[in-house]
Amino acid sequence: DTAVSQTPKYLVTQMGNDKSIKCEQNLGHDTMYWYKQDSKKFLKIMFSYNNKELIINETVPNRFSPKSPDKAHLNLHINSLELGDSAVYFCASSLQRTSGGFFLRTDTQYFGPGTRLTVL
Amino acid sequence: AQSVSQHNHHVILSEAASLELGCNYSYGGTVNLFWYVQYPGQHLQLLLKYFSGDPLVKGIKGFEAEFIKSKFSFNLRKPSVQWSDTAEYFCAVNGDNRDDKIIFGKGTRLHILP
């Protein structure tokens, strides 16, 4: 029943390792996002994909690489993890409203439960 | 530059008190406005949203917000808070273009005393 799910919920790893976080949505949405929430709870968008096409790519290190195998999945792979990568990562999804093939607006975003990444 | 400003970082109220959390934004063009809530240890959930129409929007759990275009504001209100409203509240805005990204405020931590 879970609308937006993420795995794992907790991830503890050593500096320098490579790790992946998976996200899946069963809402039939066509747009998915990755956000980083830092220790001060500030939420910042990292990436956004619409129908497997990258549409938002904020200034994040290229150690972070999103991969969208299909509309329902957006995974986040992180290479060479650093201490500063420790945060909670949220996946979200939404639907882009269109009319006659023209974009109207992006509808409400629904968030996953988050993945707490701790880099030691 | 696009931004969302939440004036109160930490608010402490007693149960049954009235609540108003401020949110101002700077964003060119048509805006869509949101309030999200994050209960301790949980993910963000939508409280309410404004896309168009009546500027007074009612959300879940007795919350409402008023969009005042001339003031670039979207303040959140609740007439009588409960202990279970203790959470972090985020105001957010996005535009109507396909690649517009949603911008979140820094959040307001609300603590309700029983």
Residue B48 contacts residue B92 (beta carbons within 8 Å): no
Could you tell me if B98 lies within 8 Å of chain A, comparing CB atoms?
A: yes
Q: Calculate mean pLDDT across residues A36-63.
A: 85
Q: Which has more confidence, B62 or A55?
A: B62
Nearest to B90 among A40, A43, A45 (CB): A43
Per DSSP, the three-state class of B100 is coil
pLDDT at position B59, please? 93
Distance in angstroms (rounded) separating the CA atoms of residues A13 and A20: 11
pLDDT at position A42, please? 83
Residue B77 contacts residue B18 (beta carbons within 8 Å): yes
Per-residue burial over B18-47, b if 16 or more Cβ lie within 10 Å, else e, is ebebebbbebeeebbbbbbbbeeeebbebb
Q: Calculate mean pLDDT across residues A18-46.
A: 91
Q: 54-113 in A: which are within 8 Å (CB) of B?
A: 55-56, 58, 90, 92, 96, 103-106, 108-113
pLDDT greater than 90 at residue B99:
no
Does the beta-carbon distance from A114 to B88 stay under 8 Å? no
Distance in angstroms (rounded) separating the CA atoms of residues B109 and B112: 10
pLDDT at position A102, please? 67
Does the beta-carbon distance from A114 to B32 stay under 8 Å? no
pLDDT at position A105, please? 65
Chain B residue with CA closest to A115: the answer is B43
Which range has highest mean pLDDT (A105-114, B71-80, B99-108)? B71-80
pLDDT greater than 80 at residue A2:
no
